[in-house]
Structure 1
Amino acid sequence: MTEKETLVYRGKIVDLFLEQVLLPNGAKAELEIVRHPGGAAAVAIDAENRVCLLRQYRHAAGGWLWELPAGKLDPGEPPLATAQRELQEEAGLRAARWEPLGKIISSPGVFTEVVHLFLARGLSHVAANAEAHEVFEVHWVAFAEALAQARTGVIVDAKTLAGLFRAERLNWGE
């Protein structure tokens, strides 16, 4: 239970709070909590069992990462709408069929961010509209190869790992 919270920083995407909390065991702790609106990601698999991956530059991660098309929830926007919007903006794709793959919490000790994962099938091409601050390349990778890259550590992004393995569990792409 939060007894006291102090705003330390308000940003464009995240806010940082110091929270004094009472833990379930009765202990008190002061925690640094980064509040994030959450996000959504799409595991887009085409008719040839290829998955759409972005090779994206991430300064905070020190370089290039392989990721699913994904983005931040806009205020009041349902997670599925976010996944649909991001798939179109980043990959220039629209999907006829969507299936939820659950959610992940990337770093529950510090961040409130919840990422909702979706499987997208029945793909068609539309105009992309990437944001200026994003630097990425769109790649189509055989689903089995993407899974191998996830297992061997080539793919390290948490939402991408979870999305690929959950899609595999549903026997999609195999």
Structure 2
Amino acid sequence: MAEDGAPGVVVVGVASGHFAMVEHWRPAAGRTFLEFPRGFGTPGGSDSADRAAITDARRELREETGLQGTQFQVLGRVWADSSLLQGHATVVGAALDRSASAAAHDTEIDALHWVPVHQVPSLMEAGVIADGLTLSAYALWSARRQPREDERALR
């Protein structure tokens, strides 16, 4: 959460079984991470929290990857460190077109990568994907894909 109280946003963009992920140098950790695009939310406004998060997700996706998304939906909210930080980030899913060429991205990002969905667990295990917001966003996205226990019992 920024100083102005606006929550952050994390974008889980998917196209043809691949996530759009960015390579990003993080000075605090002294290393590069593979992450979902993310950023600060827009302060104020009269939009509902979900509509504001989707607007912010569109902007962050475009700024960091140059990609345009469709079918945006809020997947949930995560707290990076609930014992130390007040704010949360809203996780937003989006459908992407992998054949669309990515426009120039902002200078914060080192590269855009199309990561096969099935490779994410092994990249997590290897420590390539290791930041808390990306791990949490992936968990929310995965939970939406899994049949719920009570739904399986009804089958």
TM-score for both structures, normalised by structure 2: 0.77
Aligned partners of 2:64 and 2:105 also within 8 Å: yes
Match of 2:152 in 1: none
Instruction: Give the drift of 1:125.
Output: 4.6
Aligned partners of 1:73 and 1:82 also within 8 Å: yes
Report the structure, 1 or 2, having the larger helix content. Answer: 2
Are 1:148 and 2:122 matched, yes or no? yes
Residues 1:60 and 1:37: Cα distance change in structure 2 (over 3 Å) = farther
| Residues 1-12 of structure 1 aligned to structure 2 (within 5 Å) | none
Instruction: Give the drift of 1:83.
Output: 0.9
Match of 1:65 in 2: 33
Segments of structure 1 that go 5 or more residues without pairing to the other structure are 1-12, 15-34
Higher RCO (CA 8 Å, separation ≥ 6 residues): 2
| Residues 2-81 of structure 1 aligned to structure 2 (within 5 Å) | 14=3, 37-47=6-16, 49-76=17-44, 78-81=52-55
Residues 1:136 and 1:76: Cα distance change in structure 2 (over 3 Å) = farther
Q: Distance in 2 between matches of 1:127 and 1:153?
A: 28
Instruction: Give the drift of 1:151.
Output: 4.3
- Taking only aligned residues, the RMSD between alpha carbons, in angstroms, comes to 2.2
Aligned partners of 1:147 and 1:164 also within 8 Å: no
Aligned partners of 2:5 and 2:43 also within 8 Å: no
Instruction: Give the drift of 1:129.
Output: 4.4
Segment of structure 1 superposing worse, 101-110 or 75-84: 75-84
Instruction: Give the drift of 1:59.
Output: 0.5
Q: Distance in 2 between matches of 1:75 and 1:116?
A: 14
Corresponding residue pairs, total: 137
Residues 1:135 and 1:129: Cα distance change in structure 2 (over 3 Å) = closer
Q: Which has the larger radius of gyration?
A: 1
Q: Deviation string for 1:116-137 (max 9, x for gaps)?
A: 001111435563441x4x1421
Q: Distance in 2 between matches of 1:136 and 1:104?
A: 25
For 2:57, give the aligned amino acid.
A
Instruction: Give the drift of 1:36.
Output: 5.8
Are 1:97 and 2:71 matched, yes or no? yes
Q: Deviation string for 1:137-167 (max 9, x for gaps)?
A: 1111101102332245331111111111221
Residues 1:51 and 1:135: Cα distance change in structure 2 (over 3 Å) = closer
